C-alpha cells in the first residue's frame, strides 16, 4: 500500500487557511445531495413534441367525452398509445453518455433515482388519463368513469411498467416501437397466432391466449371491468409486467456505467 | 490521520480487455493526486471507479471506509467527466443551479448551442458550486478552457483542497497539473506508478518538464516496475512504496 505523505511545506500552507476536520465537515456541513426530482425536472425525460402530443390527445379526449360520455373508450385509446412512447424514456443510453453523472455521484441512492425516473416517466400520461377520466365523471354526473375501471387501470399499469422496463437498456422510445411492431407482426404475419388471439378476443381462448391478448393488445382492456373469469389471465400479465419492471430497477441499481461517446 | 480514500490492488477490465491492474494508493483529507497517462490507459475508468459508476474487476476502494457506491450517498462527492457528458437540451442556467440551488450563470441558451469551453466551464462551476466536498474527481478539467478559466480552475482546485477535500484529477495538460498535486499516478501499459512530488523534483515543486520527463520514460518503458526517481529524499515515516 502506498500512502502519500503530507509535505511539511504544504501542511504549513494549509494550516494558514485554518485547520479543518474533514469528518466534522462531512457530518455537519455536508453538501446537499442532488435531488432526483429536481434533476429530472431540469434534464427532461420526455421530448417536448411527445408532451405536446399528449396534451393535444388529452384535450381532444376531454372534448370527446364532453360531447358524448359513452365515447370514453375512444378517448383513452390514443392516450394509452402515446403513453407507450412517453414511458419509454430510456436510462442506460443517457447514463453511459454521462448525462446522469452529476446525479449518480450526487448523494442519492440508485434505487431512489430509478424510482423517481420511472415515476416522472409515467406522470404525463397518467395525468392526461386522470383528466379524461375526471371529465367523463363530471359529464356523466358520476355514472361513467371508464378510465378508472379495473381493466383500464390494468392496461395503464401494464403499459407504464413494461414499456419503461423494455427501454431501460435501449434508446428513448424503443419500448413503444417494440410494442407497436410486435402488435403489427402478431396480427399480420402468424396466422395461427392471429386465430388464437381472435378466439381469445371473443372470450373463447385459453388462459395463455387470453394473457397474450392482454399483453399484446392492452387496448382491449380499456373501458372494461376485469371479470372473474379473466382474473387469472390479467393477473398473469400484470405479475409478469411488474416482474419485468422490478428486474429493470434491480438491474439499474447494480449496473456499471462506463462512459461511451455519443454517436 | 486516517486516509480518506484507500485504493488497494485495483484492477479494471472491459470484457476480456485488461485496462489496468495492481493500482494502489491512499489519499488523506486535503491531498491531491494527479493521474497522467496516454489515451486509453484507463484514466477515465479509474476516476469512474472512484465514484462508484463502475465496479472493479479486482481489488477494493474505500472512501471513509465505505465502498464508493455506498459512500457517494452519505459523503458529498463531486465528479465531472467533461463537457461531452452534459445533456444537450438543457438550459445553461438551469443546469448551473442543480448542485447548489444558486445559479452559476444567467445564460438561457441550451447547452448544445454553447461553445465547448463554455460548456466545460459551466460543468466545472456547477460542481464547484457544491460547498463542502469530501472527494472531488475531475476528468481532464482543463480541456477547452481559455487561460483565464484555466487559472480560475487551478485556484478553485487549490481552494477545495485547502478546505479539506480529497482531490483526484486527470489531465494531459501537464503544465496545468504540475505543482498542484501531492503525488502523481502514471498509468501506462496496464500498470500504474505512483510518485510523490518530492520524488519527481528534489525541491518538491513539480514542473511540467519534470512530469513530461517521467511520463516519457514510463511510456517508453513497457515493463516499468521500477522507476528511477529524481529525489534522494528519505521516505516519510510509516510510508512504503511499491
Tell me: the pLDDT tens digits for A56-113? 999 999 999 998 877 778 899 999 999 999 999 999 999 999 999 999 998 899 999 9
Beta carbons within 10 angstroms of residue B2's beta carbon: 11
Distance from CA of B118 to the nearest CA of A (A): 17
pLDDT of residue A5: 56
Percentages of chain B per state (helix, strand, coil), in multiples of 5? 30, 25, 45
The A residues from 36 to 65 touching B (CB cutoff 8 Å) are: 38-39, 42-44
Distance from CA of B49 to the nearest CA of A (A): 9
The answer to whether the CB atoms of B73 and A33 lie below 8 A apart is: yes
pLDDT tens per residue, range A196-208:
777 777 777 788 8
Q: Which of A7, A29, A105 sits opposite B51 (nearest CB)?
A: A105
Choice among A158-167, B101-110, B141-150, B226-235 with the minimum mean pLDDT: B226-235
pLDDT of residue B237: 35
pLDDT of residue A120: 97
Cell of residue A141, nine digits: 354526473
Annotate A97-116 with b (16+ C-beta within 10 A) or e (fewer). bbbbbbbbbbbbbbeebbeb
Q: CATH number of the domain at B1-76+132-140+159-242, please? A: 3.40.50.300
Question: How far apart are the C-alpha atoms of A89 and A86, rounded to whole Å?
Answer: 6
Q: A261 touching B, CB under 8 A?
A: yes
Residues B171/B142, Cβ–Cβ less than 8 Å: yes
Annotate B200-236 with b (16+ C-beta within 10 A) or e (fewer). bbeebebeeebbeebbeebbeeeebeebebbeeeeee
* Coil/strand/helix, residue A168: coil
Hey, where are the domains in chain B?
Answer: 1-76+132-140+159-242, 79-131
pLDDT of residue A1: 53
Cell of residue B223, nine digits: 515493463
* Predicted TM-score of the model (pTM): 0.86
pLDDT tens per residue, range B173-225:
998 999 899 999 999 888 899 999 989 888 888 999 999 999 888 877 764 44
Q: Which of B4, B126, B204 sits opposite A7 (nearest CB)?
A: B204
Beta carbons within 10 angstroms of residue A204's beta carbon: 11
The answer to whether the CB atoms of A10 and B33 lie below 8 A apart is: no
Closest chain A residue to B74, measured at CA? A107
| Per-residue pLDDT in tens (0 to 9) along chain A, 263 residues | 555 555 443 443 443 333 333 333 333 344 578 899 999 999 999 999 999 999 999 999 999 999 887 777 889 999 999 999 999 999 999 999 999 999 999 889 999 999 999 999 999 999 999 999 999 999 888 777 889 999 999 999 999 999 999 999 999 999 999 999 998 888 887 677 777 777 777 777 788 888 888 899 999 999 889 888 889 999 999 999 999 999 999 999 999 999 986 54
Chain A environment of B45 (Cβ under 8 Å)? 258
* Residue to substitute from A1, A4, A100, interface B, most B β-carbons within 10 A: A4
pLDDT of residue B226: 41
The answer to whether the CB atoms of B162 and A14 lie below 8 A apart is: yes
Q: Categorize the per-residue pLDDT at B149 as very low, low, confident or very high, splitting at 50, 70 and 90.
A: very high
pLDDT of residue A104: 95
Q: Which of B31, B87, B101 sits opposite A6 (nearest CB)?
A: B31
Helical segments of A106-260, H only: 110-139, 150-167, 174-188, 191-201, 207-216, 231-254
Question: How far apart are the C-alpha atoms of B24 and B22, rounded to whole Å?
Answer: 6
Question: How far apart are the C-alpha atoms of B128 and B79, rounded to whole Å?
Answer: 10
Residues A54/A131, Cβ–Cβ less than 8 Å: no
What distances in angstroms separate CA B105 from CA A155, B101, B102, one per listed residue?
Answer: 44, 12, 9
Question: How far apart are the C-alpha atoms of B43 and B171, rounded to whole Å?
Answer: 9
The answer to whether the CB atoms of A5 and B53 lie below 8 A apart is: no
- Reference A2, options B139, B241, B101, B208; nearest CA is B241
pLDDT of residue B189: 87
Chain B environment of A9 (Cβ under 8 Å)? 204
Question: How far apart are the C-alpha atoms of B145 and B222, rounded to whole Å?
Answer: 33
Strands (E) in B109-210, as ranges, are 135-139, 166-170, 183-188, 191-196
Mean pLDDT of chain B: 87
Interface A–B counts its CB contacts (< 8 A) at 166
Closest chain A residue to B76, measured at CA? A31
Backbone φ and ψ for B24, nearest 5 degrees, come out as -135, 135
Cell of residue A229, nine digits: 373469469
- Reference A136, options A87, A76, A190; nearest CA is A76
The A residues from 63 to 122 touching B (CB cutoff 8 Å) are: 94, 97-99, 101-102, 104-110
pLDDT of residue A69: 78
- Whether B70 shows a pLDDT value over 60: the answer reads yes
Residues B144/B87, Cβ–Cβ less than 8 Å: no
For residue B38, give the DSSP letter: -
* Coil/strand/helix, residue B228: coil
Q: What is the pairing mode between strands B135-139 and B191-196?
A: unpaired
Residues B89/B110, Cβ–Cβ less than 8 Å: yes
Chain B environment of A6 (Cβ under 8 Å)? 28, 30-31, 182
The answer to whether the CB atoms of B85 and A101 lie below 8 A apart is: yes
pLDDT of residue A230: 85
Cα A65–Cα A58–Cα A154 angle in degrees, nearest 5: 85
Q: Which of B85, B204, B242 sits opposite A99 (nearest CB)?
A: B85
Please enumerate in sequence order all residues whose Cβ is within 8 A of that of A127, keeping only pairs 6 or more positions apart, or say none.
Answer: none
Amino acid at each position: 500500500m502506498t500512502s502519500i505523505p503530507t509535505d511539511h511545506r504544504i501542511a504549513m500552507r494549509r494550516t494558514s487557511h485554518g485547520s479543518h476536520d474533514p469528518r466534522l465537515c462531512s457530518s455537519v456541513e455536508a453538501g446537499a445531495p442532488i435531488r432526483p426530482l429536481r434533476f429530472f425536472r431540469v434534464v427532461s425525460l420526455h421530448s417536448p413534441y411527445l408532451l405536446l402530443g399528449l396534451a393535444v390527445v388529452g384535450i381532444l379526449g376531454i372534448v370527446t367525452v364532453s360531447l358524448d360520455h359513452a365515447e370514453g373508450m375512444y378517448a383513452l385509446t390514443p392516450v394509452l398509445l402515446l403513453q407507450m412512447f412517453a414511458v419509454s424514456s430510456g436510462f442506460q443510453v443517457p447514463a453511459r453518455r454521462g448525462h446522469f453523472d452529476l446525479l449518480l455521484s450526487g448523494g442519492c441512492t440508485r434505487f431512489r433515482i430509478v424510482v423517481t425516473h420511472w415515476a416522472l416517466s409515467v406522470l404525463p400520461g397518467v395525468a392526461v388519463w386522470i383528466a379524461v377520466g375526471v371529465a367523463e365523471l363530471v359529464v356523466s354526473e358520476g355514472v361513467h368513469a371508464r378510465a378508472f375501471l379495473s381493466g383500464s387501470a390494468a392496461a395503464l399499469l401494464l403499459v407504464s411498467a413494461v414499456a419503461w422496463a423494455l427501454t431501460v437498456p435501449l434508446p428513448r422510445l424503443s419500448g413503444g416501437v417494440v410494442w407497436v411492431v410486435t402488435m403489427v407482426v402478431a396480427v399480420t404475419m402468424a396466422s395461427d397466432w392471429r386465430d388464437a388471439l381472435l378466439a381469445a378476443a371473443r372470450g373463447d381462448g385459453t388462459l395463455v391466449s387470453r394473457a397474450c391478448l392482454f399483453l399484446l393488445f392492452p387496448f382491449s382492456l380499456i373501458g372494461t371491468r376485469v371479470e372473474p373469469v379473466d382474473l387469472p389471465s390479467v393477473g398473469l400479465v400484470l405479475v409478469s409486467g411488474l416482474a419485468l419492471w422490478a428486474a429493470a430497477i434491480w438491474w439499474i441499481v447494480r449496473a456499471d456505467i462506463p462512459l461511451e461517446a455519443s454517436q | 490521520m486516517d486516509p480518506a480514500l484507500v485504493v488497494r490492488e485495483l484492477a479494471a477490465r472491459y470484457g476480456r480487455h485488461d485496462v489496468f491492474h495492481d493500482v494502489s494508493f491512499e489519499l488523506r483529507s486535503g491531498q491531491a493526486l494527479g493521474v497522467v497517462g496516454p489515451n486509453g490507459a484507463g484514466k477515465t475508468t479509474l476516476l469512474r471507479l472512484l465514484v462508484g459508476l463502475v465496479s472493479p474487476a479486482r481489488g477494493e476502494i474505500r472512501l471513509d471506509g465505505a465502498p464508493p457506491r455506498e459512500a457517494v450517498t452519505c459523503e458529498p462527492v463531486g465528479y465531472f467527466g467533461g463537457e461531452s457528458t452534459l445533456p444537450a437540451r438543457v438550459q445553461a442556467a438551469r443546469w448551473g443551479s442543480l448542485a447548489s440551488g444558486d445559479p452559476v450563470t444567467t445564460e438561457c441558451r441550451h447547452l448544445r448551442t454553447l461553445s465547448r469551453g463554455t460548456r466545460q466551464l459551466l460543468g466545472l462551476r456547477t460542481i464547484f458550486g457544491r460547498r463542502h466536498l469530501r472527494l472531488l474527481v475531475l476528468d481532464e478539467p482543463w480541456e477547452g478552457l481559455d487561460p483565464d478559466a484555466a487559472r480560475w480552475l487551478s485556484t478553485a482546485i487549490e481552494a477545495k483542497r485547502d478546505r479539506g477535500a480529497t482531490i483526484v484529477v486527470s489531465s494531459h495538460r501537464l503544465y496545468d497539473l504540475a505543482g498542484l498535486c501531492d503525488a502523481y499516478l502514471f498509468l501506462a501499459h496496464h500498470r500504474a506508478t505512483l510518485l510523490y512530488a518530492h520524488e519527481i523534483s528534489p525541491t518538491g515543486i513539480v514542473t511540467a518538464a519534470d512530469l513530461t520527463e517521467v511520463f516519457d520514460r514510463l511510456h517508453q518503458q513497457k515493463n516499468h516496475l521500477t522507476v528511477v526517481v529524481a529525489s534522494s529524499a528519505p521516505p516519510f515515516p510509516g510510508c512504503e512504496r511499491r
